[in-house]
């Protein structure tokens, strides 16, 4: 009888997992991070296009304050901007005529992602995918990622 109960329990759990009734740990965070990466790519397109349309370089002192101030002026989906601002610890730095934006876990010293704005269709550093904690620090060896 005990074997039958265990077999029934295992069968039920497998069935629930396949139908989505039981979620995989971290699945919601993976979805959130993937959606945020899409947002960062879109932000980069808008910011780069803004400066190019004015025939201006990214300022040498470009930082998180300027990043969000510009997005508040030019980005049409303000709830998306505020979601990134409120959900992550955000750092921005100028790099080689462009900029890098890094998102970190607000409660831990862990980098989630870093967008180097050199490939406007993707976020170059997706630390959450490695499964290993990556310290919240800008990538010092970023140039090869932009080639």
Q: Chain-wide mean pLDDT for the chain?
A: 84
CB distance 112 to 134 below 8 Å: no
The residue among 131 and 94 whose pLDDT is bigger is: 94
45 is a domain residue: yes
**pLDDT tens by residue, 10-43:** 344 344 444 444 334 488 989 999 999 999 999 9
In a domain, 34, yes or no: yes
Q: Which helix (H) or strand (E) holds 95?
A: strand 89-95
Residue 12 in any domain: the answer is no
Sign of the dihedral through C-alpha 59, 98, 110, 75: positive
Domain assignment present for residue 132? The answer is yes
| Residue 17 counted as domain residue | no
pLDDT at 97: 86
Domain containing 84: what range? 26-146
Q: Regarding predicted confidence, which is higher, 21 or 106?
A: 106
Residue 18 counted as domain residue: no
Is the pLDDT at 1 greater than 80, yes or no? no
5 inside domain: no
Q: Give residue 116's pLDDT band: very low, low, confident or very high (50, 70, 90).
A: very high
| Domains held by the chain: number | 1
Q: How do residues 66-95 score in pLDDT, each as one tens digit? A: 999 999 999 999 999 999 999 999 999 999
DSSP 63: -
Q: What is the pLDDT of residue 11?
A: 41
Is residue 21 assigned to a domain?
no
């Amino acid at each position: 009888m005990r074997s039958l109960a265990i077999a029934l329990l295992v069968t039920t759990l497998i069935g629930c997992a396949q139908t989505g009734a039981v979620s995989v740990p971290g699945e919601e965070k993976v979805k959130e991070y993937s959606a945020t990466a899409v947002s960062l790519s879109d932000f980069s397109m808008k910011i780069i296009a803004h400066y190019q349309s004015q025939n201006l370089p990214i300022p040498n002192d470009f930082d998180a304050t300027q990043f969000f101030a510009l997005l508040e002026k030019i980005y049409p989906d303000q709830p998306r901007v505020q979601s990134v601002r409120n959900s992550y610890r955000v750092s921005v730095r100028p790099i080689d005529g462009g900029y890098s934006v890094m998102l970190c876990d607000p409660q831990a010293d862990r980098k989630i992602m870093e967008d180097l704005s050199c490939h406007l269709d993707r976020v170059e550093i997706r630390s959450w995918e490695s499964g290993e904690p990556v310290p919240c620090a800008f990538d010092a060896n970023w140039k090869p990622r932009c080639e």
